[in-house]
């Protein structure tokens, strides 16, 4: 199969009139060519977007917690609604919900998702006979609609710093070391090496694990190249509690105890000081930013300009799924920095003055690193992922960089025309190829 891209986004910007040759779902080569030589023709072709932070179950109540329950409503009061959603859902309901969610991610242009999975146990909080039962269901949901998935089974053991006992509403998430090892072992035995699947691991947060034991736990379970994700420094109260208990801020504390490197992704990292920021950059780790969720929860605004000046890398995630649009995440990211700095085009650079191009390139490249995928945007001899746009209402003299900017910043409801993920067409004419069946399932789920 030969795909003609009038404009193809590469590491060095857009290239005109390129043909992607795909054989058996695998990208074999990219070369200049003519549209007459191709099987399919698109105006604008980008690598697939990577969603580096997802809690599938939270989509069940996205947008339903937008009323004030107390004068100081915050992340911590929202968390109670989250617990209710997590504890009121069966494994089968979660699987059906995830299937719908992942299909919509594909329609938005995401080709891979990192699922930060901590709803491990039955509704009565006892483990399943296979303690990875729900993890398997989530991977099956992703496979059934065609999105690549990095499943991150979460280690969740405490309710707060100093090994505080879990709250009753957290019991469905809790695993001791033995049970967590069984979860990882079951997932690896079934899925490791399967196309479109990566198995990582995720200490939930420094609140939920014992940082002094974490190095030994990682040594027991981690494998070379395996992604490690952790929530960290999302809320000021979390930072204050960490300093009060340990005398150190969260990222500084983590760096003292664990050998952070390029396999790590620090989720949110909203509240950092300069030394913590520098330590992340030195380690080569990724920060997963979730701008629409962070705005929804009132978390704060990440210090992107300062982080960028140090050479830091970041990715995007939809997290609680109040938004499933990568363009929206990137727009909010840039606009947050404009509001902080009273400047425009904050993420532009001398090397890449177009903000949209630089945002998209960084989100995809670092997103791939976060999931343990090849970081090249177009890795040859791998299953191919791309997002294609057509009919974007361009003027004849519109450059591709301007078209990408329009998609990112104009708010026009432009959906990808097609998405090719993990070697197969998944979205065509803006709709998932199983959309009628998915719609019928959705009616039954609702």
Indicate which residues carry an active-site annotation: 268, 319
**If we measure between CA atoms, which residue out of 243, 321, 261, 386 comes closest to residue 57?**
321
Residue 242: closest CA among 205, 292, 196, 215: 205
Q: Which residues contact 177 (CB under 8 A, 6 or more apart)?
A: 217, 220
Q: Which spans in 48-176 are helix H?
A: 75-87, 91-108, 133-145
Tokens of 13: 């910007």
Residue whose entry in the numeric block shows the structure tokens 């039962």: 133
Q: Are 152 and 229 in contact (CB under 8 A)?
A: yes
Distance CA 126, CA 131 (A): 9
Q: How long is the chain?
A: 446
Residue 54's H or E segment, with its range, is: strand 49-54
Query: 189 — phi, psi (to 5°)?
Result: -60, -35
256-280 burial code (b ≥16 CB/10 A, e <16)? ebbebebbbbbbbbbbbeeebbbbb
CA atoms within 13 A on the CB side of 436: 0
- Distance between CA 17 and CA 60 in Å, rounded? 43
């Amino acid at each position: 199969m030969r795909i003609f891209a009038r404009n193809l986004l590469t590491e060095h910007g857009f290239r005109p009139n390129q043909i992607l040759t795909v054989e058996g779902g695998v990208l074999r080569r990219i070369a200049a060519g003519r549209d007459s030589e191709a099987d399919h023709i698109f105006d604008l072709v980008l690598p697939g977007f990577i969603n580096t932070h997802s809690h599938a179950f939270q989509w069940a109540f996205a947008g339903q917690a937008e009323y004030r329950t107390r004068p100081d409503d915050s992340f911590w009061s929202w968390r109670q609604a989250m617990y209710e959603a997590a504890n009121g859902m069966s494994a089968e309901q979660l699987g059906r919900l995830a299937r719908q969610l992942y299909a919509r991610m594909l329609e938005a242009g995401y080709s891979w998702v990192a699922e930060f999975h901590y709803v491990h146990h039955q509704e009565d909080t006892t483990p399943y006979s296979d303690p990875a039962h729900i993890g398997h269901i989530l991977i099956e949901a992703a496979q059934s609609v065609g999105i690549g998935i990095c499943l991150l089974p979460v280690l969740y053991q405490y309710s707060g710093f100093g090994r505080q006992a879990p709250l009753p509403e957290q019991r469905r998430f809790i695993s001791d070391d033995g049970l967590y090892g069984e979860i990882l072992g079951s997932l690896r035995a079934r899925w490791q090496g399967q196309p479109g699947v990566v198995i990582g691991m995720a200490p939930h947060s420094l609140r939920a694990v014992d940082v002094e034991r974490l190095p030994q736990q990682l040594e027991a379970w981690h494998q070379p190249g395996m992604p490690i994700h952790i929530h960290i420094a999302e809320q000021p109260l979390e930072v204050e509690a960490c300093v009060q208990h340990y005398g150190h801020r969260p990222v500084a504390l983590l760096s003292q105890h664990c050998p952070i490197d390029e396999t790590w992704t620090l989720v949110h990292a909203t509240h950092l000081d300069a030394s913590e920021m520098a330590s992340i950059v030195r380690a080569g780790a990724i920060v997963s930013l979730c701008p629409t969720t962070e705005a929804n929860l009132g978390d704060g605004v990440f210090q992107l300009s300062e982080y960028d000046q140090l050479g830091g890398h970041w990715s995007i995630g939809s997290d609680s799924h109040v938004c499933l649009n990568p363009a929206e995440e990137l727009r909010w990211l840039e606009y947050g920095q404009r509001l902080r700095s009273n400047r425009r085009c904050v993420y532009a650079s001398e090397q890449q003055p177009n903000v949209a191009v630089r945002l998209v390139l960084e989100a995809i490249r670092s997103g791939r690193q976060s999931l343990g995928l090849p970081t090249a945007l177009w890795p040859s001899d791998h299953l191919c992922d791309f997002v294609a746009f057509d009919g974007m209402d361009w003027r004849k003299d519109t450059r591709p960089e301007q078209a990408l900017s329009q998609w990112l910043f104009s708010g026009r409801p432009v959906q990808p025309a097609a998405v090719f993920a993990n070697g197969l067409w998944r979205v065509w004419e803006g709709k998932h190829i199983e959309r009628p069946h998915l719609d019928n399932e959705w009616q039954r789920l609702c």
